[in-house]
Chain A
Amino acid sequence: MSANGIELVPTADDHRIARYAAAAIALSVVEAAIPMPLPGVKPGLANIIILVVLARYGWRDAVWVSLLRVVAGSLLLGQFLAPGFFLSLAGALASLAALGLAMHLPARLFGPVSQSLIAAFAHIAGQLAVARLWLVPHDGLFYLLPFFAAAALLFGLANGLAAAKLLEDAGRIHR
């Protein structure tokens, strides 16, 4: 059914990425409804999906899912191209870069928990860098750093454990 002659044929990769992105977007929307004491602090539940995708399909797929999550999630929440969108994008890019490095840590010693913690801290670093350079050009912003770091520690650990559990369950089913 190609009325105007252009036909896009989605590959199996596209379908898989779309499925995971849909799950990540759903989690983003769900967590937007959770009230948080400090603006900008979020559990980052979608990162559980990113970690699972990273472990099972590699970094390239994780990048796709993460960026689709940022763009589509912000469209759904009415944040697209708003300041929050750029903070989210900066955080996602920073944590993807960190994950690209962290995934090469020896798997015998380091699991999803390490990756999740590292990604969470990279996320706040990326966000704060953009916020400081562009949105709030004042060093007072860094007073928020300890709160963000504490949140990254807590949620990074929780998300990492969730991802590890999901990966274990998935491994059991596929074995």
Chain B
Amino acid sequence: MKSSLRFIKPGDWAVLLLLAAATAAMAPVVFKGGAAEKAVVRRDGVVVAELPLTRAARIEVPGALGTSVIEVQPGRARVAADPGPRQYCVRQGWLSQPNAIAICAPSHLSLSIAGRASSHDSLSY
């Protein structure tokens, strides 16, 4: 049995390469889609600050125990300081993935990263 390549005529190759190139050109759409876009700070579930992840910023947020510091750099955000006793949210470090979250429970604060498609983290059909 000869190779099935003989069924591909010159024009077929052209069509194949063209469509393959088009497919490759579409691929970045997927990887851009989940990009982190802003940091959302909540106290008791209520949004108290939204910071775009495009430029650096440092804000102080009043929590239940005192003042916490949220720091934003391009593409990432962290809780830089928190008066909580165990410092879990501070030690979590930089958050950069959409839907990542650092919770400072004693302060009643949370810092989360919202991507463009923040309303779902899964889809089922």
Contact = CB atoms under 8 A, between A and B. Distances in A.
A interface: dominant SS: helix
B19 A153 contact: yes
B interface: dominant SS: helix
Interface residues of A, number: 30
Nearest to A164: B7
A111 to B, nearest CB: 5
A39 B9 contact: no
B45 interface: no
A112 B20 CA distance: 17
Contact of A161 (B4, B29, B30): B4
Nearest to B27: A146
B100 interface: no
B16 interface: yes
9 contacts: A105-B11, A113-B7, A113-B15, A113-B16, A146-B27, A146-B30, A149-B23, A150-B23, A164-B7
Given A142-B29, A165-B7, 10 more contacts: A109-B12, A111-B8, A114-B15, A143-B30, A143-B33, A145-B29, A156-B19, A161-B7, A164-B7, A165-B4
